[in-house]
Amino acid sequence: MKRVEKYLLPLVTFFILVAAWQVTASAGLYPSQLLPSPLDVVKGVAELVGGGQLWPYIGVSLLRYFGGYLAAALVAIPLGLVFGWYSKLWLAVDPLMQVLRPISPIAWFPLISLWFGIGDLPAVVIIFLSAFYPILLTTVAAVRNVDPVYLKVARNFGASESNVLWQIVVPAAFPYITMGMHIALGSAWAFLVAGEMLGVRSGLGYLIIDSRNFLRTDLVLVGILLIGILGLIIDRLIGRAEKWVHKQWGVV
Amino acid sequence: MNKKISKIILAMVVLVLALALAGCGGKKTAPGETEGQAKEKPVIKIGYLPVTHHLPLVVADKLNKDKYQNFELELVKFSSWPELTEALNSGQIQGAMHMLELAMLSAERGIPGEILALGHRNGDVFTVAPEIKSIKDLKGKRVAIPSRMSAHYILLNQLLKDNGLTIDDVQWVEMPPPDMPAALARGDIKGYLVGEPFGAKAVLGGYGKMLLRTQDLWPNWVCCGLVMNPETIKAYPGATQEFVDSVAAAGNFIESNRSEAIKIAQDYMKIDEKIWAKSFEWGISYADLKPTQEDLQKLQTNLAALKLLKGTVTTDKMLNDTFVTKAYEKVK
């Protein structure tokens, strides 16, 4: 596909969407306080930038987010390697993981605030929880799906268990692990709003909740758009990193 | 290739238009549009939260269920103020037991509501950890409020000021009220000022104590009231009168039959009977549910002083006490 189209087509989608939004907003079906127009939202951005809150909010949200996400990766990847490698262990914990996995981190609120209090920590924990399972499960699957031929060959050459794990399994599984990390990135970012509900006074999630309390739908939309746009940027950056990893490890 | 692109764009345009049309077609008809055409009673939906301030509404519903002559009452329970506010402002419900501060904010943002009656007077408390002996002990500590847009925040500001402190001397946080007792029990916060029954819960649980009552600071304190959509009131004055009559009568019923009222509430709110009884010790009153200009102006002035409202709403436009005045004439 031509390079121009790559940028042109998304822009067309964007303009059509904004136009439809503007038309709906100015049709007068809903009071503008309940459905602000794109222009109101732009004014809202200007108001926040002028008030000096916007950049600190973005910064603190990114900090909480990467804190939770990286912690999840650091715990889930080693755990996934172990679970994937020792089949019997996975047999023992698999049902438990499947029970826990579909539960929204929001449902854990009472226990999270019991154990982690209020403030930054519960926000990080919520993001941790939403990133943890996708990374863990893809890591386990990646290890279990390593071609048995590799393992047989390695063992025939007399490789020890730890050699097989570190020199065959980990490199073979790594590209798939990065895929899991990519998936987790989105699901973790989506829970930022929920994470910032427990007694914090900063961040993009807080911006949405606080603006909602003050009936400022325009600022709610600013928060939504910023979270969406930052999500896109993060996704693209990780996408590039993933491609690089795949090239290094020879997967297309 | 170019043709392909234009086809894609065309498809997108069609899709967006279809979505926009579907959105317009789905608009609900207001209940006012059926008035007079059919003999069928209109359904009036009223929102509430499971808090002690809203007791008269649920008692009115229980005592008059299916007995209203001019309308059918449908109560809608919400779990937070923003949800209730959005439902009311977008016309999904025709009225609500509403936080008066939020009603004023809505009016200021161009969505008017009329304040017909109060839900209660007095009775909220400042709950603190046992080691807190006075307001001064809260310096540097974390204190929870439901939202800055609340009379509780006004009171917290005033309390600190009366004790030579400012709002910046405490770490205030906004929290959903149901989370507050547990946060106090864990020591995450050292106190909270919020509507009942959340104070009573901590006191009964043994990890909180009542430091002072709202009426100690602000006699005849008001917080929640019955707010209705002006169009509904205009379309159904008879129904509105009948409804407000029943709410005022429910207030009197609660005053003379407290234990009965607590039993009724069990059908509507998951609040333990012991917690109700404890909370009632703190002087909540349902006897005089008629709001006054002074009540509303005091709220508005204070909120404007804290820069939470512009203070531009004329409270006499919002206050409509004709229904409640008539209601009290009937019972007295």
Question: For residue B30, what pLDDT is reported?
Answer: 47
* Residue A40 half-sphere exposure toward CB, CA atoms < 13 A: 17
Interface list for A 215-234 with B (CB within 8 A): 215
Tell me what pLDDT residue B32 has. 45
Measured distance CA(B47)–CA(B96) in Å, rounded? 4
Give which of B249, B127, B278, B106 is closest to B199, Cα–Cα: B127
- Cβ contacts of residue B212 below 8 Å, gap of 6+? B125, B126, B159
Local confidence band at B37 (pLDDT 50, 70, 90 cut-offs): very low
B268 contacts B58 by C-beta, under 8 angstroms: yes
Is B9 in Cβ contact with A215 (below 8 Å)? no
| DSSP-derived secondary structure letter, A165 | I
pLDDT for B31 beyond 70: no
Q: Which residues of A touch B86 (CB under 8 A)?
A: 34
Whether pLDDT at B15 is above 70 = no
B79 Cβ under 8 Å from any chain A Cβ? no
Distance CA B233, CA B44 (A): 10
> What does each C-alpha distance from A74 to A161, A181, A203, A234, A244 come to in angstroms?
23, 11, 24, 19, 20
B90 and chain A in contact, CB less than 8 A = yes
Instruction: Give the closest-approach CA distance of A50 to chain B in angstroms.
Output: 17
Q: What is the pTM of this model?
A: 0.77
Average pLDDT, chain B: 82
Task: Look up residue A241 and give its two tokens.
Answer: 């990193």
Q: Judge whether residue B250 has pLDDT over 60.
A: yes
pLDDT of residue A154: 84
Touching check for A202 and chain B: CB below 8 Å? no
Give yes or no for A10 touching B (CB within 8 A). Answer: no
Q: Using the beta-carbon criterion (under 8 Å), do A199 and B183 form an inter-chain contact? A: yes
DSSP for residue A196 = T
Q: Does residue B6 have a pLDDT over 70? A: no
Q: What are phi and psi of B98, to 5 degrees?
A: -120, 155
The pLDDT assigned to A1 comes to 56
Provide mean pLDDT across the span B102-128.
86
CB pair distance less than 8 Å for A117 and B188: yes
B287 part of contact set with chain A, CB < 8 Å: no
Chain A residues within an 8 Å CB radius of B12: 12-13, 16
The pLDDT of residue A107 is 85
Close Cβ partners of B117 (under 8 Å, ≥ 6 residues apart): B225, B226, B244, B247, B248, B289, B290, B291, B323, B324, B327
Q: Which of residues 162-181 of B touch A (CB under 8 A)?
A: 173-176, 179
Cβ-based contacts of B109 with chain A (< 8 Å) = 33, 215
Tell if the CB–CB gap between A199 and B82 is shorter than 8 Å. Answer: no
Indicate if ipTM > 0.85: no
On whether any CB of chain A is under 8 Å from the CB of B18, the answer is no
Q: In this predicted structure, what is the pLDDT of residue A76?
A: 93
Closest CA to A64 of A194, A178, A228, A182: A194
A22 and B CB contact within 8 Å: no
pLDDT for B181-197, tens place per residue? 888 888 888 889 898 88
Sign of CA dihedral A222, A224, A228, A233: positive
Q: Which of B12, B172, B194 best probes binding to A when mutated, by most A CB atoms within 10 angstroms?
A: B12
Q: What is the mean pLDDT of residues B104-120?
A: 86
Helices (H) and strands (E) in chain A, counts: 12, 0
Nearest CA in chain B to A213: B82
Q: Give average pLDDT by consecutive 10-residue segment, chain A, 252 residues.
A: 78 90 84 84 88 88 92 93 89 90 84 82 90 92 87 83 82 85 86 80 87 87 90 87 76 50
Distance from CA of A142 to the nearest CA of B (A): 38
Interval B156-183 mean pLDDT: 86
Residue in B9, B19, B175 nearest the CB of A12 = B9
Task: Dump pLDDT digits (tens) for B191-236.
Answer: 898 988 888 888 888 888 888 888 888 888 888 889 999 888 888 8
B12·A33 Cβ contact <8 A = no
Percentage of residues of chain B with pLDDT beyond 70: 88
Average pLDDT estimate for B16-32 = 49
Q: Does the distance separating the beta carbons of B175 and A199 come in below 8 Å?
A: yes
Residue B34 has pLDDT above 70, yes or no: no
The CA R_g of chain B, rounded to the nearest whole Å, is 22
**Residue A153 near chain B (CB below 8 Å):** no
Q: Determine the pLDDT at residue B284.
A: 86
pLDDT-derived band at B163, boundaries 50, 70, 90: confident
Q: What is the mean pLDDT of residues B32-36?
A: 46
Which of A161-175, B7-21, B28-42 is predicted with the least confidence, judged by mean pLDDT?
B28-42
Q: Which residue has the tokens 């037991």?
A: B97
Rounded Cα–Cα distance for residues B2 and B102 (Å): 54
Q: B24 or A25, which is more confident?
A: A25
